[in-house]
Amino acid sequence: MAEMIDPFGRAVNYLRVSVTDRCDFRCVYCMSEDMAFLPKAEVLSLEELDRVCSAFVRRGVKKLRMTGGEPLVRRNIMSLFRNLSRHLDSGALEELTLTTNGSQLGRFAHELADLGVRRVNVSLDTLDAHKFVAITRWGKFAKVMEGLQAAKDAGLAVKINAVALKGVNDDEFDHMITWCGEEGFDLTFIEVMPMGDIGGENRFDQYLPLSQLRRNLERNWTLQDIDHRTGGPARYVRVRETGGRVGFITPLTHNFCESCNRVRLTCTGTLYMCLGQEDAADLRTPLRLSESDNILDEAISEAIARKPKGHDFIIDRGNDGPAVSRHMSVTGG
């Protein structure tokens, strides 16, 4: 079938799939502590997720990223990776990967590698065990460290994703660069995004512009701009002193929309054409209406035709509420 081209001439070849809204953490910038989760009937089965992902692969998607919530807490999730790996074997798919909080990597890292996953993104905002508990509320730092070691042992490339939180982890960034350099991990800093009610936390108080973060880093490190790309929105530098790569994802200070090649599917079959907009398309209904994919393909085409030029995230003292009502855990970032 013809590849998916949006109204602005961008080829959509990257699908991020939230396989569950559930998570074993309650990070302070992502969820409120007393989250209400979806009833099972609203969530796509693993077989339905395989079918809709495969429809996107037929339409030219080359990169599939599984996200959550925490994707590895979904029961039997390895069966989905196992089924989707056939597209790697055929050459239709170039990369099958995931973003995880690392808590389950000790169990699954070797199996993921066996199924063709070559790299993982691990969300980790601090290397301080006490601060880790404060940020994640429910997380166990030692378990994440064990998961990272399991990923290394399995031969998986690891990228650490750290949300920059003013007054929380902004005293650790030099240490994180040193540690990632020693471990052989890439590191990406992410600006906090105004998504969902987070239970009384003030996002403006959390917000640290990455332009400021980079200036601070340049006091101690030599950062050299490079052309490295992973298919996502990060802009990378090489740290001369460690040889490692550091990325910056800046949805607020410098949005990355001009080259956006991504759409996001939730575990309920809702397709968001933009992370920072509310417009969405229902793919669950056409998926369940017919065993044929004709109606599903039409719904995908109609959705891509509505993909907007970009998002309009704003955080300032007068705009500290969510720009969109859904939590980050719904679409997986």
Lowest mean pLDDT among 56-65, 95-104, 314-323: 314-323
Q: 18 pLDDT exceeds 80?
A: yes
The per-residue pLDDT for 316 is: 45
The per-residue pLDDT for 193 is: 67
pLDDT band at 198 (very low <50, low <70, confident <90, very high): very low
The per-residue pLDDT for 312 is: 56
Task: Estimate the share of the chain in helix, then strand, then coil, as percent rounded to the nearest 5.
Answer: 35, 20, 45
User: Which amino acid would we find at residue 218?
Assistant: E
Summarize the confidence of residues 254-273 as an average pLDDT: 85
Distance CA 282, CA 299 (A): 8
The per-residue pLDDT for 204 is: 55
Q: Which CATH number fits domain 14-331: 3.20.20.70, 3.90.950.20, 3.40.50.720, 3.40.50.1110?
A: 3.20.20.70
pLDDT band at 202 (very low <50, low <70, confident <90, very high): low
Residues 167/125, Cβ–Cβ less than 8 Å? no
Give the model confidence (pLDDT) of 142-168 as tens digits: 999 999 999 999 999 999 999 999 999
Picking from 74, 10, 80, 63, the residue whose alpha carbon sits closest to that of residue 37 is 74
Where do the domains of the chain lie? 14-331
The per-residue pLDDT for 30 is: 77
pLDDT band at 199 (very low <50, low <70, confident <90, very high): very low
pLDDT band at 297 (very low <50, low <70, confident <90, very high): very high
Q: What percent of the chain has pLDDT over 90?
A: 70
